[in-house]
Each structure stands twice: as structure tokens, then as C-alpha cells.
């Protein structure tokens, strides 16, 4: 009798742990001391099914050289990223726009990785976390 209760408790606990996980933003790359990353993880909470989620991530060049974003790559086809390919002068800021299509119900954890001219080998992650509401809930509310 108690076994189903324990199993249910463990399942709920693990679900909450997945949602609550946060990214620890320590830059161990060659970008350290040259690039200042703004918010690296957005928890967008619950979002309606099919309504895209878009957030902007700021990147500031704190070096004395121009910063170039060489590559911004998504972890899946459901997430897109757009960014300027122009050089970012010292002291200037640029933005990376990330959009998740929200066409799959449930929790999501989407990563976009960024390579710069200061470290073209080790990427920096930018993350969107949230939960897409079931489709039928969205249909009933309209």
C-alpha cells in the first residue's frame, strides 16, 4: 500500500527538480574577462501550446578588441536563434534573440550555444526553460 505512494512522491519530486534546475554561469572559456554575458537562462514558466516564446540574451564586449559572434547554434529544430554578424566594438552590447516554437506539450529545456572569436572552440550556453500547457487547455480557453 505504501509503495505506490513512495513511487508517486519520487516521480513528483524528480519532475520538480527538472523544472527547478538552474544553470550555474561560470565562464571557464577564453571569453572570461573579455565578454560579459547577461542573463544566460530564462525560466519562462507556463506557456500556451503553439505560442512561440522569444527572449533576448545580451552580450557585452568588455575587452579592448572587437568581439565577433562566430556561431549561434540551437540544440534542436524547435528552437531558432538570430544575431548580428557585425563586429561588436569594445564597450558595446549586442543581443541574441532565441525563439522556441512551443509545439510539444510538457517541460522544455532548450540550449543555444555561442562561439566567439575569443574562444572558437568552447561554446557558451544560453538556455530557455519552461512548460508548454496541454493543447486542449488552450483550445478550451478560446
* Structural domains present in the chain: 2-141 (2.60.40.10)
pLDDT tens sequence across 82-104? 999 999 999 999 999 999 999 99
Chain Cα centroid distance, residue 118: 21
Closest by alpha carbon to 112, among 82, 73, 84, 76?
A: 73
pLDDT value of residue 87 = 97
Q: What is the mean pLDDT of residues 101-124?
A: 96
Distance from C-alpha of 121 to C-alpha of 89, rounded to nearest angstrom: 21
State the pTM of this model. 0.77
pLDDT value of residue 21 = 52
Above 70 in pLDDT, residue 142? Answer: no
Q: What is the mean pLDDT of residues 65-69?
A: 97
Closest by alpha carbon to 90, among 68, 116, 123, 113?
A: 68
Distance from C-alpha of 94 to C-alpha of 104, rounded to nearest angstrom: 30
Amino acid at each position: 500500500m505504501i509503495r505506490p505512494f513512495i513511487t508517486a512522491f519520487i516521480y513528483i519530486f524528480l519532475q520538480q527538480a527538472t523544472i527547478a534546475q538552474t544553470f550555474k554561469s561560470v565562464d571557464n572559456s577564453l571569453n572570461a574577462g573579455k565578454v560579459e554575458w547577461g542573463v544566460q537562462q530564462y525560466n519562462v514558466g507556463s506557456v500556451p501550446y503553439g505560442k512561440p516564446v522569444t527572449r533576448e540574451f545580451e552580450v557585452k564586449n568588455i575587452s579592448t578588441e572587437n568581439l565577433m559572434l562566430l556561431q549561434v547554434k540551437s540544440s534542436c529544430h524547435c528552437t531558432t536563434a538570430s544575431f548580428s554578424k557585425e563586429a561588436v566594438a569594445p564597450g558595446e552590447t549586442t543581443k541574441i534573440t532565441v525563439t522556441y516554437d512551443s509545439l510539444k506539450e510538457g517541460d522544455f529545456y532548450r540550449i543555444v550555444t555561442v562561439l566567439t572569436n575569443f574562444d572558437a572552440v568552447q561554446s557558451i550556453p544560453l538556455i530557455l526553460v519552461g512548460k508548454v500547457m496541454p493543447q486542449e487547455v488552450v483550445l478550451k480557453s478560446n
